Structure 1
Amino acid sequence: MQVDFYQLSRDPVDRVLPAIAARVLGLGERLLVVAQDEAQLDRISAGLWAGPPESYLAHGRVGQGQDSVQPVLLAQDCVAANGARHIALADGHWRDEALDFERAFYFFDAVSIDAARESWRALSRRDGVTPRFWRQEQGKWVQGP
């Protein structure tokens, strides 16, 4: 299982996540996006709407109907009612339930960097887990060491 750590230094998660979601959907997969804060989920939802009409990313919130058919489902917990095998942890908080997915995207910022470092150390010692680190440099994502 692959865990991609994304260090948010320039753009907030609601501006970064749509590109990740588009790639996941482009692979024919579904995505579960998890954040505890309702306001953050609102911002992420707005970000998924923000592009031009042809780039709109169909999505829904848990409990608002038709959870099982949503390509991108926004939730406060790691239950993939849409059958997603990819999960995005958008609030800087690692959840071990993410290990039940095929791939996890873990977004963190300066506030949650210490928790991310601790998660990296723990995950890098686990069998079957491949952590990768990404950072923003001059508007691009580059893989770190």
Structure 2
Amino acid sequence: MQVDFYHLTQLPLERALPQIADKVLASGGRLLIVAAEAGQRSKLDQLLWTWSAESFLPHGEAGGLDDARQPVLIAGTPEAANGARNIALVDGVWREEALGFDRAFHFFDEERIGEARAAWKGLAEREGVTRNYWKQNDNGRWEKAA
């Protein structure tokens, strides 16, 4: 199980998340995006339709009739009704349920850095967990920092 910590320092989540989602879909995977607040989920829904002038990311919000068919599902809890093996925690809150997936993307900003550090340390001794820490450089590109 791989956990990738993404420290948002230059680009906002709205620019970083679609890139990750696009890569997951391009590899044939499915993604569950988790945010506790309904307002954030609604904004992400709109974002994924319009993130690129050339394309959109097929997705839906959890609770619909076609949840199981959605390649990307936006939900308030880490329950993958779409069968996703990849999870993106986008509200800065680590959830232990993420360890039940093959890969977790944990996005956080400066407001949540303390919580992210605690999660990083808490996963250090977990058997079968590989951690990566990604930080944005001055140009907004991701660099592996740990």
Interval of TM-score (by shorter of Structure 1 and Structure 2): over 0.9
Cα distance, 1:51 vs structure 2: 3.1
3-state DSSP class of the match of 2:9? coil
**More displaced stretch, 98-107 vs 51-60:** 51-60
CA RMSD in angstroms comes to 1.1
Cα distance, 1:37 vs structure 2: 0.7
Unaligned runs of 5+ in 1: none
Q: Percent sequence identity over matched residues?
A: 50
Cα distance, 1:127 vs structure 2: 0.7
CA distance in 1 between partners of 2:20 and 2:118 (Å): 24
> Hey, what does 2:73 align to over in structure 1?
73
> Hey, what does 1:139 align to over in structure 2?
140
Cα distance, 1:53 vs structure 2: 5.1
8 A Cα contact 2:88 2:107, kept in partner? yes
> Hey, what does 1:112 align to over in structure 2?
112
Unaligned runs of 5+ in 2: none
TM-score normalized by the length of structure 2: 0.95
CA distance in 2 between partners of 1:11 and 1:74 (Å): 21
Cα distance, 1:20 vs structure 2: 0.3
1:63 aligns with 2:47: no
CA distance in 1 between partners of 2:40 and 2:133 (Å): 23
Query: How many pairs were matched up?
Result: 145
8 A Cα contact 2:58 2:71, kept in partner? yes
CA distance in 2 between partners of 1:69 and 1:53 (Å): 24
Write the deviation string for residues 45-101 of structure 1: whole angstroms up to 9, x where unpaired: 222112345421000001122000000000000110000000000000000000000
8 A Cα contact 2:11 2:140, kept in partner? no
Residues 22-101 of structure 1 mapped to structure 2, 5 A cutoff: 22-52=22-52, 54-101=54-101
